[in-house]
Amino acid sequence: MSWQPGDSQQQATRREELPGRYDATLLLSALALAAFGLVMVGSSSIAIAEGEGSGPFHYLLRHALFLGMGAMLGLAMMRTPLDLLERHSRVLMLAAVLLLLAVFVPGLGRRINGATRWINAVLLTFQAVEAVKLMLIVYLASYLVRFSHQVTGSLLGTIKPLGITAVLVVLLLLQPDFGSALLLLSITGGMIWLGGARARDIGGLALLGMPVMAIAALAEPYRVKRLTSFLDPWADPFNDGFQLSQALIAIGRGEWLGVGLGARVQKLFYLPEAHTDFVFAVLAEEFGFLGVTVVVGLFALLVTRALMISREAAQAGQAYQSYVAAAIGIWLGLQAFVNIGVNMGLLPTKGLTLPLLSYGGSSMLVTLGWIGVLLRIHHDTQAT
């Protein structure tokens, strides 16, 4: 609350009424990626929807619905003061644990493709970990503000947030969801580093944690198969290496300018999960290197703006907002990098969607909600 000079009396002005503006670059880049996603989901899902007997535009219409719902959530987050999230950060952390436990409740949780990661909601099947990512970020940002001296000055201050994240990681491994578990650990590590934790503390804990994660990765036979097929998909192109080899064929066919929208062949049941995890391969085949460059450039712009908003918030003395914005930038960059790396054969298959492009209601809702949070942070920073 600030004071504005009046005629003879001073009137209080709420923070929401202070002059501020929303980040047009951030908003336009997010809208451009969402538009790309709408086009690519429509192009890649027609054959799949027809094969399922649900109508050619089944997935396209649902994706458009998710976009509309996500836009409304983003608008709601733009109107939500960040201090409200900060005050309830511990409640949200508890909610994150309960959400991951809820997937194991019979009748509430749903098992798809051998993994129990989804909760049956009214209009969609919601993947719990998507909301958990945001809840974890809100909590960690609050922790770094409240215990800044412990984080920068002691090993215990670094261990505490990692211990909390470890609880979520264990629940994710039980689903199983190894990719999301690694993503949460990476986000936590990045936030702790930004919070000023000593390099020797982070490095020592990472060295201790790496063997544990390696054992977890090799404990399940399907993860071992993913690793071996990633190393040489052509050794077994019709079985374990089928998905990756088809993705590489699609990317190779795109060449410089692509085969044209709707003209690709790989989406006709050759490439599994063409409208979800491997939508980037569809994009590469239809729009070629040019389309890939545009999309990667938009992601780079989105992440850059998130980090710049974080810096501006820090300069304005808004530490909590700064940590949240930086964490969102880290998440967007990491998840996009992993998904694109998987599509191009640079990383083993992780089952992570491409933000704003892949089909999926829970991913779209949460991602657009995060964009709304970033826009709110920038507005508040400009208003100070």
Residue 247 has pLDDT above 90, yes or no: no
DSSP string, 258-309: -S-TT--STTTTTSTTTTTTTHHHHHHHHHHHHHHHHHHHHHHHHHHHHHHH
295-305: average pLDDT: 96
**Rounded distance between C-alpha atoms, residue 260 and residue 264, angstroms:** 7
How many of the other CB atoms lie within 10 Å of CB of 75?
Answer: 14
pTM above 0.95, yes or no: no
* Per-residue pLDDT at 123: 62
Residues 330-362 have pLDDT tens digits of 999 999 999 999 999 888 877 788 999 999 888
| Token couple for 43 | 């192009």
Q: How confident is the model over 79-100, as a mean pLDDT?
A: 91
Instruction: Tell me the mean pLDDT in the region 184-200.
Output: 91
Query: What does the block give as tokens for 57?
Result: 């535009």
Rg of the Cα trace of the chain? 22
Dist. CA 201–CA 199, nearest whole Å: 5
Tokens at 322, concatenated:
């700064």
pLDDT for 166 equals: 92
Two tokens, residue 15: 């923070």
Q: What is d(CA 257, CA 1) in angstroms, rounded to the nearest whole number?
A: 54
Exposed / middle / buried, residue 337 (Cβ in 10 Å: 0-12, 13-18, 19+) = middle
Position 5 confidence tier, pLDDT thresholds 50, 70, 90: very low
Give residue 132's pLDDT: 93
pLDDT higher than threshold 70 for residue 278: yes
Predicted local confidence at residue 25, as pLDDT: 92
For residue 269, pLDDT beyond 70:
no
Q: Residue 227's closest CA among 349, 140, 314, 124?
A: 349
Does pLDDT of 76 surpass 90?
yes
Whether 217 and 223 have beta carbons less than 8 Å apart is answered as yes
- 324: tokens are 């949240």
> For position 15, what pLDDT does the model report?
45
Among 54-58, 144-148, 220-224, the range with the most confident prediction by mean pLDDT is 144-148
Residue 4 has pLDDT above 50, yes or no: no
The predicted model gives 14-39 an average pLDDT of: 80
Highest mean pLDDT among 105-114, 212-221, 223-232, 315-324: 315-324
- Looking at residue 125, its pLDDT comes to 77
pLDDT of 168 higher than 90: yes
Q: Report pLDDT for 120.
A: 80
Mean of pLDDT over the chain: 85
